[in-house]
Amino acid sequence: MRIEIADAVDFARGAAFLGTGGGGDPYIGRLLLEQALRNKGPANVIPVTDLDDDALVVPLAGMGAPTVIIEKIIGFGEGERVLRALEQRLGRKATAIMSAEIGGLNALFPVAMAAHLGLPVVDGDGMGRAFPELQMVTFNIHGQRAAPMVMGNEYGDTVLVEADDNLRVERLARPVVVPMGGLCMLALYSMSGQAAKACTIRGTLSLALGIGRALGAARRSQQDPFAALLAFLRGTEYYRHCRILFDGKIVDLRRETQRGWAIGKVVIEDLAGRENLEIEFRNEYLRALRAGRTVAIVPDLISILDRETGEPITTENLKYGQRVKVVGASVPPIMRSERALEVWGPKAFGYDEPFSPIESTGD
Amino acid sequence: MRIEIADAVDFARGAAFLGTGGGGDPYIGRLLLEQALRNKGPANVIPVTDLDDDALVVPLAGMGAPTVIIEKIIGFGEGERVLRALEQRLGRKATAIMSAEIGGLNALFPVAMAAHLGLPVVDGDGMGRAFPELQMVTFNIHGQRAAPMVMGNEYGDTVLVEADDNLRVERLARPVVVPMGGLCMLALYSMSGQAAKACTIRGTLSLALGIGRALGAARRSQQDPFAALLAFLRGTEYYRHCRILFDGKIVDLRRETQRGWAIGKVVIEDLAGRENLEIEFRNEYLRALRAGRTVAIVPDLISILDRETGEPITTENLKYGQRVKVVGASVPPIMRSERALEVWGPKAFGYDEPFSPIESTGD
């Protein structure tokens, strides 16, 4: 598969949906992607099964607060720098780029880098969505090591983190984001082709593009974008349990940038003014409560979309008075295993309740 | 020169004096030094002029809050690990160890590591005292780069920082100290023998030992330790402008651990209860005010010592009611140049006053 300039808008929109509020402003990511595709031609997207077992796959990602991404655009320089620094540390060249999270900028950036560098990018990622911490990837629960990990910024600074525990890598790296400028690029979880085949959530670049295309086509043909979105999701293996959780307007919004994260809460009221849905977030939307009852919770997907256009809205773009619909969807089954839920289930985010699959929380 | 077990107490005491309150508890450092000397024999201390021009000199240091050092002893493992990681990055072996600051633990640790590793340690350092930030060394103002710099802790985690500006290295590294455990080891400012000859403050290991011996000998022979200390300092090239700034007891003490530093203020009242001396600190004692007038200010040395024994007291060991004498002394002339004062003069610590040499602030 190739991703071309004509795909950029749809791909960015689909990635924003899967970003569940996080992963950075898709508009910024789209500009970056379009620039790479214009200058270097289409990106070559390959199935993970095309990799040789001894290939070297390097996931690339941005780390920082989405609220900063709006003001400070990431460039190709720091992406290439962290990749080269990691290659030097490993003593070999990367065979392919991969996305660690198929949400927002972190879905788009690896594709842009792949085009820029003339390397293939794997059709897959480590979440099937977006998450705020480095250890929250399937790579981790399959025993892959985040380190050696290189962080880099636009000044040419790099920081190489080595620790054998992925949570420690997160703890060591997080506070560096602020002096890096609030946002930096990462090369991490480098792995063999064999390992990538074992632990990647397959086909998620294609799925992001499909979601974006479904929404875009509906809008162009004056159809209901939500009907098109749900129809597409129901045809997928991963996201097929899905529904509209709420329809209303934003009546309350609290948002702070803390320790490099966008943390807060948004309250949506139905248009008749009778009922509320409250959604908590930390970069990503984590839990949706209706009259105090959980209707969707991490790791299942919660997305807030413009109620007319179906455009996904990231946490840093939420505004008081916006009219929105909230969509919930299941994550890939691998993301719901007991071992997986220990790393990114409700408890990992401080919630004192078990995971409730979206298909079990219906009215 | 060799530093042997019999020297450890005096060397630690002299290093504590030059640490001006910072650099970590000398007792902890002494235990570490004694352990290394007992197991591996004396440390070989060489003049910087003995180095070949193409030698590789690696300063080693601890970074963190002195308040943490009391509770978490640094071991040889992390010191060796950061050195080996830096050697690997540079592609060559260290010829000699050096101290970045001849204050407290950071004076003792490189000597202990030299004994442990069987490498010589240079008789000199980059401050002639102690300072709280990485760019505050003569190496920096002579154009040497702190990076590549390796940080390491007892868990085997390492972080390699690369930045071409030494202040950025400080900014990137400082927040990593907390997840490292509040304290970590560093290998930084690696340089050639030629560079070391140009920018090292020479002879400061010998001076630390001399200061400690002067104090120790006076105590053993029931002489006034302060008379012995001042007599020794007056015979040195660096510290010859010196005097007792105050004599009294501690009547107020505020101390917090903030961002990895011990920050606070101590007030000393004379025994007649008529006058106060107020001393502000950030790891090190920075400014001494008598009735609102500056009587000593960074980079000149301010040390607080037990008024009976002459034992130097570090900021984390200050206690309400302690009876103390405060000694001020000049720093080496190279530390007072205009360029030097830009990096560690009063303004670098947020003071809105120029540097006043200790010899100009007398009554």
The predicted-structure confidence for A318-343, as pLDDT tens digits, reads as follows 999 999 999 999 999 999 999 999 99
Kindly list the residues of chain A whose beta carbon comes within 8 Å of any beta carbon in chain B.
85, 155-164, 168, 171-172, 174-176, 178-180
- Inform me whether the pLDDT recorded for A72 exceeds 70: no
Question: What tokens were used for A137?
Answer: 């990837």
**Is the Cβ pair A164, B180 closer than 8 Å?**
no
Give B70's pLDDT tier (boundaries 50, 70, 90). low
CB A3 within 8 A of CB A42: yes
Give B23's pLDDT tier (boundaries 50, 70, 90). confident
Chain A residue with minimal CA distance to B81? A162
Contacts of A176 in chain B (CB under 8 A): 172, 175-176
User: By C-alpha distance, which of B166, B172, B207 is closest to B348?
Assistant: B166
Give B330's pLDDT tier (boundaries 50, 70, 90). very high
Q: What three-state secondary structure class fits A223? A: coil
**Is the Cβ pair A178, B174 closer than 8 Å?**
no
What number is the average pLDDT over the span B336-354? 95
**Is the Cβ pair B175, A179 closer than 8 Å?**
yes
Nearest to B157 among A172, A176, A179 (CB): A172
State pLDDT tens for residues A207-238: 999 999 999 999 999 999 999 999 999 999 99
- Secondary structure in 3-state letters for chain B: CEECHHHHHHHHHHHHHHCCCCCCCHHHHHHHHHHHHHHHCCEEEECHHHCCCCCEEEEEEEEECHHHHCCCCCCHHHHHHHHHHHHHHHCCCCCEEEECCCCCHHHHHHHHHHHHHCCCEECEECCCCCCCCCCCCHHHHCCCCCCCEEEECCCCCEEEEECCCHHHHHHHHHHHHHHHCCEEEEECCCEEHHHHHHHCEECHHHHHHHHHHHHHHHHHCCCCHHHHHHHHHHCCCCCCCEEEEEEEEEEEEEEEEECCEEEEEEEEECCCCCCEEEEEEECEEEEEEECCEEEEECCCEEEEEECCCCCECCHHHCCCCCEEEEEEECCCHHHHCHHHHHHHCHHHHCCCCCCCCHHHCCC
CB B259 within 8 A of CB B175: yes
What's the gap in Å between the CA of B48 and the closest CA on chain A?
Answer: 31
Contacts of A174 in chain B (CB under 8 A): 179
**Is the Cβ pair A159, B171 closer than 8 Å?**
no
Nearest to A159 among B85, B161, B178 (CB): B161
- Inform me whether the pLDDT recorded for B262 exceeds 60: yes
Contacts of B168 in chain A (CB under 8 A): 155, 157, 179
| Residues 6+ away with beta carbon under 8 Å from B235 | none
What number is the average pLDDT over the span A273-293? 94
Asked casually if ipTM beats, i.e. exceeds, 0.90, the reply is no
Nearest to A163 among B85, B157, B162 (CB): B157
Give A73's pLDDT tier (boundaries 50, 70, 90). low
Q: State the pTM of this model.
A: 0.89
Contacts of A155 in chain B (CB under 8 A): 163, 165, 168
Compute the count of residue pairs across chains A and B with CB atoms less than 8 Å apart.
Answer: 59
Of B22 and A354, the one with more pLDDT = A354
Q: How far apart are CA A152 and CA A80, in angstroms?
A: 9
Average pLDDT, chain A: 94
Nearest to B160 among A159, A164, A171 (CB): A159
- Inform me whether the pLDDT recorded for A70 exceeds 60: no
Q: CB neighbours (10 Å) of residue B52? A: 11
Kindly list the residues of chain B whose beta carbon comes within 8 Å of any beta carbon in chain A.
85, 155-165, 168, 171-172, 174-176, 178-180
Q: How far apart are CA B161 and CA B145, in angstroms?
A: 11
Q: How far apart are CA A218 and CA B129, in angstroms?
A: 71
Of B208 and A183, the one with more pLDDT = B208
- State the pLDDT at residue A15: 95
What's the gap in Å between the CA of A141 and the closest CA on chain B?
Answer: 20
- Inform me whether the pLDDT recorded for B257 exceeds 80: no
What's the gap in Å between the CA of B188 and the closest CA on chain A?
Answer: 14
- Inform me whether the pLDDT recorded for B161 exceeds 90: yes
Give B260's pLDDT tier (boundaries 50, 70, 90). low
Q: What is the DSSP-derived secondary structure letter of residue A261?
A: E
What number is the average pLDDT over the span B114-141? 95
**Is the Cβ pair A163, B155 closer than 8 Å?**
yes
Q: CB neighbours (10 Å) of residue B170? A: 21
Question: Based on C-alpha coordinates, what's the Rg of chain B?
Answer: 19
State pLDDT tens for residues A5-21: 999 999 999 999 999 99
- State the pLDDT at residue B74: 66
CB B174 within 8 A of CB A166: no
Q: Which domains does chain A have, with CATH numbers?
A: 2-202 (3.40.1610.10), 235-349 (2.40.390.10)
**Is the Cβ pair B172, A159 closer than 8 Å?**
yes
Chain A residue with minimal CA distance to B182? A172
What's the gap in Å between the CA of B68 and the closest CA on chain A?
Answer: 18
Interface test with chain B among A82, A88, A172, A185, by most B beta carbons within 10 Å: A172
Question: What tokens were used for A79?
Answer: 């992406």
Contacts of A259 in chain B (CB under 8 A): none
Nearest to A175 among B157, B163, B176 (CB): B176
Chain B residue with minimal CA distance to A175? B175
What number is the average pLDDT over the span B157-168? 97
